[in-house]
Chains A and B, each alone.
Chain A
Amino acid sequence: DVKVTQSSRYLVKRTGEKVFLECVQDMDHENMFWYRQDPGLGLRLIYFSYDVKMKEKGDIPEGYSVSREKKERFSLILESASTNQTSMYLCASSLFREGFGDEQYFGPGTRLTVT
């Protein structure tokens, strides 16, 4: 079974703090993703990575950065946390199969509250 783990289930940070969210997958997947999920807004892609040290912006990258130094680990960084970044953050990984697309597998999520 694919296992995707995230460093924290719940996190409370103060406005202006630098926040690190870490994600690790154990299935040697090429692709990794960071989403946020808010009520009524669905899943929104923040960043994704298709290889080590490679990253691409998703739909809402502002205020976030990412790091992928090793294949199994993908980190999301909030440079200066703000209250509007209070959300559920979901990490996913996938292995692209030609003609089929990605089956994405999700971690348990981190519920971040910024006060």
Chain B
Amino acid sequence: QKEVEQNSGPLSVPEGAIASLNCTYSDRGSQSFFWYRQYSGKSPELIMFIYSNGDKEDGRFTAQLNKASQYVSLLIRDSQPSDSATYLCAVPRRGNYQLIWGAGTKLIIKP
């Protein structure tokens, strides 16, 4: 089992709908989680950070953490064509400064 797993997609969602992206992780002790967005040909940019319990909302983006099932979700409401990108999930590796990266989910928002 990979340490951080994401469905590679592509995930196709109609404009205006909710896009739901999932990320599973293997270390039950993980406490913090990062979501990055990467446009084609560009570098990843941090869009959400969630720590420990509960949901976190930032504008149209909501990160949800389910520790019992060991997954974290990113919901994008009112999806726009500009949301079309690859979304990367990352989890800190315990004991050092690294992040463990998922392979990313490609999201396509269809007008």
Contacts and interface: CB of A to CB of B under 8 A. Distances in A.
B46 A31 contact: no
Contacts of B96: 50, 56
Interface in B5-51: 31-32, 34, 42-46, 49, 51
Contact of A109 (B31, B43, B103): B43
A56 B96 CA distance: 10
Interface of B: 31-32, 34, 42-46, 49, 51, 88, 90-92, 96-99, 101-104
Nearest to A41: B103
Of listed A40, A43, A45, A105, residue having the most chain B CB within 10 A: A43
A31 B97 contact: yes
A34 interface: no
Given A102-B99, A107-B43, 15 more contacts: A40-B103, A42-B101, A43-B101, A48-B97, A50-B97, A90-B44, A100-B32, A100-B51, A101-B31, A101-B34, A102-B97, A102-B98, A103-B46, A108-B42, A109-B42
A102 B46 CA distance: 11
Interface of A: 30-31, 33, 40-43, 45, 48, 50, 56, 58, 90, 94, 96, 99-109
Nearest to B88: A43
B72 to A, nearest CB: 13
Contacts of B46: 103-105
B109 to A, nearest CB: 21
Contacts of A48: 97-98
A94 B96 CA distance: 12
Closest 6 CB pairs of A and B: A101-B92, A106-B43, A42-B103, A43-B101, A31-B97, A101-B32
Contacts of A109: 42-43
Of listed B31, B32, B43, B44, residue having the most chain A CB within 10 A: B43
